[in-house]
Chain A
């Protein structure tokens, strides 16, 4: 993809992508790295993105990359010395699909909305609070509850 096209995508979507990464990784530098890596890959690959789906594509990339990082850091913390194979894309995608299915089945409608606004659409807590008519702290508590359910189920 050409640099000019990357520049437009970067300026248009960076903030949301960064926000999603922060929600998953917390770490500022790691979040910046994830987003940069995605744009770097776009520069180096021949990718056809369409205007109507580019945001979804980029935010999904962030979620995938963050999950991958978390999984790798978890593996290294266990200290088992196991180096995972490079092409583990199927695992990440299956995991995302499993999480989506879990969300649809086990979260309340409000939790589902909040979860999607944050992770799929990259909205800020302030924006979600306004959309739901509740406080930011309440949004955080709903999201924490949802994430704890997901974590307990998949761990």
Chain B
């Protein structure tokens, strides 16, 4: 798309009254155009292979690193947080089967990334703690079944101590986690 088109589209959005329905229809045709997904995938796939080869040869251009850095930021944006920022949704029992199934298929390929970060995107609390507790060789005990279904969206640095991870989760009013010997105890926040 040319710059002039972009300017026109922006103007059309700000001042739709200046344009005829036909002009708007023409622009909507452009915006509604279905992209060629297969071609886009081939292009993306080829770029990734190129990138991998380049990495293997230790030939990194600054542009490439900037692009990787940008995409890294993109993921962080979605986490929505500093460490203490978690999103909790209501439990969704009907979704448990699908999620557990997905997790099971992923566990075998849960490779620890070199920089030690894992992003949990809207995941059940019990599923997340199953992964985290295994990393720290702990078991998990819930005082309340309902807590298992809380949905969490957060980032975990595997190089952090368990105490740090628990401290972050405890920023939530709804939760109180305690580490005692080989067990992580999970109870509702505010319960002594």
Chain A: residues with CB nearer than 8 A to chain B?
A: 2-3, 7, 10-11, 14-15, 18-19, 22-23, 26-29, 32, 35-54, 56-57, 60-61, 64-65, 68, 86-90, 92-93, 124-126, 136-137, 140-141, 144, 147-148, 151
Which residues of chain B are within 8 angstroms of A32 by Cβ–Cβ distance? Answer: 35, 40
Tell me if B41 and A10 are in contact (CB < 8 A): yes
The digit string for B152-179, where 1 denotes a CB below 8 A from any CB of A, is 0000000000000000000000000000
Q: List 24 A-B contacts (CB under 8 A).
A: A2-B109, A3-B45, A14-B41, A29-B1, A39-B44, A40-B71, A41-B71, A41-B74, A46-B112, A46-B113, A47-B121, A48-B123, A48-B131, A50-B121, A50-B122, A68-B73, A68-B77, A89-B73, A90-B82, A124-B31, A140-B28, A144-B13, A148-B13, A151-B14
Most buried by A among B12, B37, B70, B77: B77
The chain B residues found within 8 Å of chain A, CB to CB, are 1, 5-6, 9-10, 12-14, 16, 21, 24-25, 27-28, 31-32, 34-35, 37-38, 40-41, 44-45, 47-48, 67-82, 85, 92, 95, 98-99, 102-103, 106, 109-113, 117-123, 131
CB distance from A149 to the nearest CB of B (A): 11
Residue on B nearest A135 in the bound complex, by CB? B21
Question: Chain A interface mostly helix, strand, loop or mixed?
Answer: helix
